[in-house]
Structure 1
């Protein structure tokens, strides 16, 4: 079995474009040779996730209403990073904006594709430690509730299905494993 691309693109047309995403419709021959279409969402930013963790194993979650799913969501700190910029700088900005926290130490703990069946969106997740509290300054599009809680409570929120955001689930589960392994 080959790992080479079995899809053949016959034609492509960008059908939507804004500051954050573009949507391209491809006319294709699929791996079995059948004709079809494939819609591809291109993200113009990297998704950045930051899990702050203090010396007492407390973390901070951000609650906000998420328009696409029409639900309130509890999440780790998240935002977008410009594609050609250092993602750690985006992580520092997002952490300070949403929580007022700054960290002396950032550790990349995960890279992941968020929906690789329809998009190219890449997420980079950081663990932020050695924290100092300052004042938050959310963007005008954000109406946030910031909550400090024991990390174990955030882990239980994932296990009980309260936290459903993929970046948050991945970050919290990965951190739980790293803690169990004594790597944090």
Structure 2
């Protein structure tokens, strides 16, 4: 079975109107009225996001992570380095920038692992997940409102952090399991 992104006339919804509700620094919210395949209409609440990058950075066999307070969760979260795309920014360059800003590391080798939508039921945010190695240390330069602590975890430590809930965001979980797949099979599987 060939699965690819495509339109399906039996399932497609057609946007009839869009009502902007909120315009923020990072996201915006709109309510779309759509025509359903059976001809009826429905409302869809949509969060628009500029997209983001995340980096599975491996240094001396360990996963480079940052600890950061996340207001939406009300607690700190261990995560791989990540950040939003600036308007018109190339995701590869953004990944290198975020890695350096958050951790101080620069990489000699970086490649796209996969791009994925975070919550397609209500948001258009796409994250481009990169894998980086051959890291060289340097000076971190986080954003002025960003307070981070750097950690380097072995794969078993990262898996234990997932098990305890210390790591609970999808991009970091995906990155940890991609590295595990690489260690078991020799490939990231994508």
SS of the counterpart of 1:173?
helix
Q: Distance in 2 between matches of 1:58 and 1:155?
A: 12
Q: What is the match of residue 52 of structure 2?
A: 47
**Shift, 1:140, TM fit:** 1.1
- Give the 3-state SS of the residue equivalent to 2:146 in structure 1: coil
TM-score by length of 2: 0.87
CA distance in 1, matches of 2:151, 2:36: 47
- Residues in 2 aligned to 1:156 and 1:33: alpha-carbon distance in whole angstroms: 50
Give 1:149 shift. 2.3
Shift of 1:57: 1.1
Distance 1:162 1:42 in 2: 28
Instruction: State the Cα distance separating 1:86 from its structure 2 match.
Output: 1.6
Find out whether 1:156 has 2:160 as its counterpart. Answer: yes
For 1:70-116, what per-residue CA distance to the aligned partner results, in whole angstroms no more than 9, with x for missing partners? Answer: 22111011111225222111111111111111110002112110010
User: Which among 148, 152, 156 is matched to residue 144 of structure 1?
Assistant: 148
RMSD, aligned CA: 1.8
Gaps of 5+ in 2: 1-6
For residues 15-35 of structure 1, the C-alpha deviation after alignment (integer angstroms, 9 at most, x for no partner) is 111232221111223344443
Aligned to 1:178: 182
Helix, strand or coil at the partner of 1:53: strand
1:120 Cα deviation from its structure 2 partner = 0.6
The structure with more strand, counted as a fraction of residues: 1
Tell me, yes or no, if the aligned pair for 1:155 and 1:176 is still in contact at 8 Å.
no
Indicate if the aligned counterparts of 1:109 and 1:171 stay in contact, CA closer than 8 A.
no
Alpha-carbon distance, 1:53 to partner: 0.6
Tell me, in whole angstroms, the C-alpha distance in 2 between the residues paired with 1:142 and 1:51: 19
Gap change, CA 1:93 and 1:10, over 3 Å in 2: same
Match of 2:109 among 101, 105, 109: 105
Structure 1 SS opposite 2:165 = coil
Contact persistence 1:53–1:151 (CA under 8 A): no
Match of 1:114 among 98, 114, 118: 118
For residues 179 and 84 of structure 1, the distance between their equivalents in structure 2, rounded to whole angstroms, comes to: 35
Report how many residues are paired: 181
Choose from 82, 86, 91 the match for 2:95: 91
